[in-house]
Amino acid sequence: MNYLNNKKILLIICGGISAYKSLDLIRLLKKKGSSVKTILTKSAEKFVTPLSVVSLSQEKIYTDIFDYNNEAEMDHISLSRWADIVLIVPATANTIAKLSNGIADDLATTVVLASNKKIFLAPAMNVRMWEHVSNKHNVQKIREFGYNVIGPDIGDMACGEYGEGKMSSVEDIFNKINNYFKNIYNNKKLKALVTAGPTVEPIDPVRFISNRSSGKQGYEIARALADNGYDTTLITGPTNLKIPSNLSVIKINTADQMLEQTLKNLPADVAIFSAAVSDFKIDNFNESKIKKSENMKLNLTRNTDILNLVSKHNSLRPKLVIGFSAETNNLEKNSKIKLNEKNCDWIIANDVSNKNIGFNSDFNEVSIFYKNRKSEVIPKMKKALLANEIVEKINQELN
């Protein structure tokens, strides 16, 4: 099915021998009903002519940020707001380096930096350039920014060398873009629920029981779900994190409040329980502060296991239930027990004894245990990037 009809694509063409392939991409996008506006970098004009781009796109092209005719309309802002996505084909090592460091010294990089839309890049360069440690670092950084990198492929290059760095085919780029809009279209019909952060159980007006969860991974998963078109609700315990703007957020404190809000927001198509819910609460809460001179004796009562309750619920159980497992030892054994005992579809487990990942870190490394297929390990990466990986797997599961 064609999901590109009436879509608005801002295409940035950078300088490189693969630039000529962008003309075929324009032709294909136009054939599928997309509107295409184009920015040519100065070096791109050495490989494709403005006239050929205009003839195919049937739109004016943009080249110079200092063109007073264009900037009277604030093109570096208006172009990114006009587009549904921004597509950079080919993306050179130079452009990737600029974007990874926030440099905006021409119209193309200024538009990307000012954009509030999804950015797709199709890198193309010599194999040694692609494999250079600085380029690998830059590519990793733009992935962490949320940019989508398409390819590159392995093959023969125009320079006569062979290896990774060859730009993905026009068909592959087209299919990636079409699938992106396909997921957005399909996911608009789907509801997602995410729990995140810690819960706090009050002892008295100034003391409480809690844990070290920062909520970062859950927030990133909720953000990625919303970015992929899901009608997303985030139920969060106390955190210091910025609230994503494209989803519904419900703030709670205690496990009982999280349970109440979870049940209120079901049914859902997918539920991700990443919150670190306190296992116990105080059953003898003191209305006034307990003084140091007093003997403090805490009577604890178990909180309701929200994941277990929802996963085994006859009528409210989502199609896909994903639990989290924070372990300090026997990660695989404990996670598989949790997967089976709590009737989850997936368990996403991490080793929180490693201080460089997990709680309060921007990085995570997880193992995903599935009910009906072999488990897999996702290596250490930024939590934002990991969230995108997880949501891509959710897309595949539900669509």
Q: Which amino acid, residue 224?
A: A
- Compute the chain's Rg from CA coordinates: 25
Which residues lie closer than 8 Å to 133 by C-beta, 6 or more apart? Answer: none
CB of 81 closer than 8 Å to CB of 75: no
Of 238, 233, 241, residue with least CA distance to 211: 238
CB of 196 closer than 8 Å to CB of 235: yes
What are the Cα distances from residue 76, in Å, to 39, 148, 371?
10, 21, 48
159 is catalytic: yes
CB of 121 closer than 8 Å to CB of 148: yes
Pairing of strands 153-156, 162-166: antiparallel
Quote the CA–CA distance of 4 and 11 in Å, as a whole number: 14
Quote the CA–CA distance of 162 and 165 in Å, as a whole number: 9
Given the residues 154, 158, 159, 296, select the one marked as catalytic: 159
Catalogue the active-site residues.
159
